[in-house]
Structure 1
Amino acid sequence: MDYTKKILPSGMRVIFRKMESPLVALNLWAKVGTKDERPEKNGISHFFEHMVFKGTQSFPQNTLARKVQALGGSINAGTSLDTTNFYLVLPGEEWEAGIRILAELVTNPLFEAEDIEKEKLVVLQEINIDEDNPEERLIHLLYQEVFAETPYGMPILGKEETVKTFTREDLLEHKRRYYHPLNLSFVGVGNIEENEFFYQVEKAFSETPFSEIPWTVQSSKWCFKPGKFYREAKDVQRFYGAIGFPCASLKSEDFYALRFASVLLGEGLGSRLNISLREEKQLVDAIHTSYSYYERAGLFGIFYSFLKGDPLQVQEAIWKEIELLTNSLSKKELERARNLLKSSLYQVAETTLGSSELLGRLDVIDTADRVLNYFMYLEGMQEEKIQEVITKYFKPEQATHIVISPEGAT
């Protein structure tokens, strides 16, 4: 996973990875997400991501999308709790035009009043769709409860009452506050000349203004409330449940052991929870784990669903498997987890877009060198360390239980 990283005179971080491919992936990352929003402006990061595609000075209305397609490329974006990113994949010979397009996208958006009002309806529809989807609703509730009274507890899409208030001035302030060189990382991956890539990025962003407003710095320590039980009846036919634990952030050394714990417990048909609860006891139809890691904290989630049964019985069986894992972990299981983690990392690293996303996200909230550390910790991980973090984070008093059940179910 060789790459080169430079910091331009403006303070912008630029990363390049040489890769034999007919495609070039360009990825612009901004260190701004839901955690940086004021509660009354919740969702502005996601709305900003939408609005820049509605027209810029050089590409008004829909001409940007047509320009990208004319080059044979595809462009998209994403918003998370920590970051906003804009990515472009196109034929190798068009990479210089791609850099200029991404620079134009975030430095010269028009934010026309008519487009703002139209896009509010689009985002409100997204919010309604998520609320109607029981699996999305489950995730939303879990984050809301686990991260209660912290910025990570706010929804990425925002709320109906906040989205309706967004103005052009809000978007311009967001741009000034966060879209400046010191807050950006630009990643390029492909078969192009390295020095020329760095030169073209610096040239394209040379006129990017520095922030006029200092961005908010979050407090050094967050306090998480004790776990709770939450049940919601909904017009569904199945039970959907989750158990969530607040845990280590991406920057913690516990990050690596928690990735192992996720694979061991619930990733793949060979995981403990799948074998025990789905295959042997047949308590659930589906079960999996997810360790989501961010700059300030992490969330370890265990998700399950079933048609008929008792959520309490499922929860008891999950706790039993967690207890068993803290007492017994075979070398065979550990090797399975190690191989699966290696494989998933290789699958990401073998594509231009996957490489640019991995390097960019890590760099903007921590450091791209985390990739190199990942390989080291994969090889050196021991059973004792995994059991230590499970004992440390998976405590009943820290667990939040969420159940979405059919209306009328007991």
Structure 2
Amino acid sequence: MPDAPLTCLDLWCQAGSSAEQCQEEGMAHFLEHMVFKGSQELPAGAFDRQIEALGGSSNAATGFDDVHFHVMIPPEQAPRALQLLLELVLHPALTTDDFGLEREVVLEEIAQYADQPDERVIQNLLSRGCPDHAYGRPILGAADQLLAMTPEAMKSFHRRRYRGHHCCLAVAGPIQASLRRSIVESALADLPATGEITTTTALNHRSGRHEIRVPRLESARYLMLWPMAAAKQLSMVMGADLLTSLLGEGRRSRMVERLREQLKIAETVDMDLTALEQGSLVTLEVCCMENQLPAVEEAVNEQLRRLESDPVEPWELERALRLVGNSLRFALESTGQVAAMAASQTLWGRQQSLLKPLQQLERWTADELRREMFPRLQPEKACTLIARPGSKQE
């Protein structure tokens, strides 16, 4: 992307919460915090100060499958920024004093998360729908688990996961010759091979119907969770994306039009696909008045049942194709998103053209959606959760 104003350096590692072993729950996110407390060569805060002095900015994020650290930097400063980034991430100090202080920060983050009723509802749905799997656990971990962690355990996790083919650097934007040389001569070349092979565990989804009461929940919630194909099955993921757009994106989608526009029983209707390496997830969330919950459940199930009998009209398919396609196209305009897509695909062994998802959209017809996708989204295959406002959580 030679005309972009900034270069993005994005370092990804297969070190998300799904890589945690027993008694390591929350370690991946905690380590992300500790990385920014400094390295063997950079005191705490020095990385941020130097990146800002170079005219750049930095950030990081931990997910279920991976963690990444990225820098947005003027192209001419990219070689120095790369050196700083690799020093910080690959050689964190993880000192005892910083460990105790930063643990308090993460514990406060966990407390804030637990104090948000909407977040608790979503986590309850994931825990019930993905039992005994990392996708059902909070990425932040739990307070008692963090209190039992030690710097030595975190160093062990870092040695195990931030190595060899567990790591991938992606660069997007203007790429000068000096940066190419810096990459070849960087600490990436010295990463030792890893002895731990990343394995994926099939998502163990559990259907069923559950009800809870949640203090301070402003509106009732009707939620459903379905398993979908893993991220490597790109064509099926694109089909699921089309399906969620057809059903729950925009006023003309089937769920929104029926529940909110016609019946007027829902405040909001949201349907999303989360593409994950061990099995993607589709979620439906309807906010409504508590006395409307029976009507909402009936209307949702009716729309899902009608998927197999009501044909997809040409305008519906065209609309869904346009929504999904435009979302992908817009993502290709940002150096940060381009770097993230390239890194994720390479990290998980599916290096491909960034336009391939658009090409996979073209294979989907109304008949193929009805035959391959609609049966996956039936009510009995979902984990259903009804959340009511209440004085205590059940």
Q: TM-score range by the shorter chain?
A: over 0.9
Structure 2 vs 1, CA of residues 329 and 209 (structure 1 numbering), >3 Å: closer, same or farther?
same
* TM-superposition CA deviations, 1:82-140 (whole Å, max 9, x none): 00000111112211112112211211111111111111111111112122212211221
1:273 matched residue in structure 2: 255
Which of 154, 158, 161 is matched with 1:175 structurally? 158
1:224 matched residue in structure 2: 205
Please give the alpha-carbon distance, in whole angstroms, between the structure 2 residues aligned to 1:330 and 1:115: 59
1:263 partnered with 2:263: no
Please give the alpha-carbon distance, in whole angstroms, between the structure 1 residues aligned to 2:189 and 2:372: 47
1:149 partnered with 2:93: no
1:214 matched residue in structure 2: 196
Written as runs of structure 1 = structure 2, the 5 A alignment for 1:11-410 is 18-193=1-176, 196-206=178-188, 208-210=190-192, 213-215=195-197, 217-219=199-201, 221-252=202-233, 253-327=235-309, 328-369=311-352, 371-407=354-390
Please give the alpha-carbon distance, in whole angstroms, between the structure 1 residues aligned to 2:254 and 2:207: 27
* TM-superposition CA deviations, 1:209-229 (whole Å, max 9, x none): 42565256344x444333332
- Letter of the 1:26 counterpart: L
* TM-superposition CA deviations, 1:225-256 (whole Å, max 9, x none): 33332323322231123111122111123211
Please give the alpha-carbon distance, in whole angstroms, between the structure 2 residues aligned to 1:386 and 1:101: 48
Deviation for aligned residue 1:378: 1.8
Please give the alpha-carbon distance, in whole angstroms, between the structure 1 residues aligned to 2:194 and 2:151: 17
- Letter of the 2:46 counterpart: T
* TM-superposition CA deviations, 1:290-315 (whole Å, max 9, x none): 11111110111001212343323212
- Letter of the 1:205 counterpart: A
Structure 2 vs 1, CA of residues 371 and 365 (structure 1 numbering), >3 Å: closer, same or farther?
same
SS of residue in 2 equivalent to 1:392: helix
Q: Is the 8 A contact 1:240 1:304 kept in 2?
A: yes
Q: Is the 8 A contact 2:117 2:216 kept in 1?
A: no
Deviation for aligned residue 1:269: 2.5
128-137 or 69-78: which moved more?
Answer: 128-137
Q: Is the 8 A contact 2:230 2:278 kept in 1?
A: yes
SS of residue in 1 equivalent to 2:7: strand
- In structure 2, list runs of 5 or more residues that go unmatched: none
Count of residue pairs the alignment pairs up: 390
Structure 2 vs 1, CA of residues 19 and 334 (structure 1 numbering), >3 Å: closer, same or farther?
farther
- Letter of the 1:286 counterpart: T
- Letter of the 2:14 counterpart: K
SS of residue in 1 equivalent to 2:208: coil
Structure 2 vs 1, CA of residues 192 and 134 (structure 1 numbering), >3 Å: closer, same or farther?
same
Q: Is the 8 A contact 1:28 1:184 kept in 2?
A: yes
Q: Is the 8 A contact 1:326 1:390 kept in 2?
A: no
- Give TM-score scaled by structure 1 length: 0.90
Please give the alpha-carbon distance, in whole angstroms, between the structure 2 residues aligned to 1:299 and 1:112: 38
SS of residue in 1 equivalent to 2:355: helix
Please give the alpha-carbon distance, in whole angstroms, between the structure 2 residues aligned to 1:39 and 1:347: 40
- Letter of the 1:187 counterpart: A
Q: Is the 8 A contact 2:90 2:162 kept in 1?
A: yes
Q: Is the 8 A contact 1:138 1:241 kept in 2?
A: no
- Letter of the 2:280 counterpart: G
Q: Is the 8 A contact 2:131 2:204 kept in 1?
A: no
- Give TM-score scaled by structure 2 length: 0.93
Structure 2 vs 1, CA of residues 349 and 257 (structure 1 numbering), >3 Å: closer, same or farther?
same
SS of residue in 1 equivalent to 2:85: helix
Q: Is the 8 A contact 1:283 1:309 kept in 2?
A: no
Written as runs of structure 1 = structure 2, the 5 A alignment for 1:2-17 is none
* TM-superposition CA deviations, 1:185-204 (whole Å, max 9, x none): 111011223x6544322311
Percent of aligned pairs with the same amino acid = 26
RMSD: 2.0
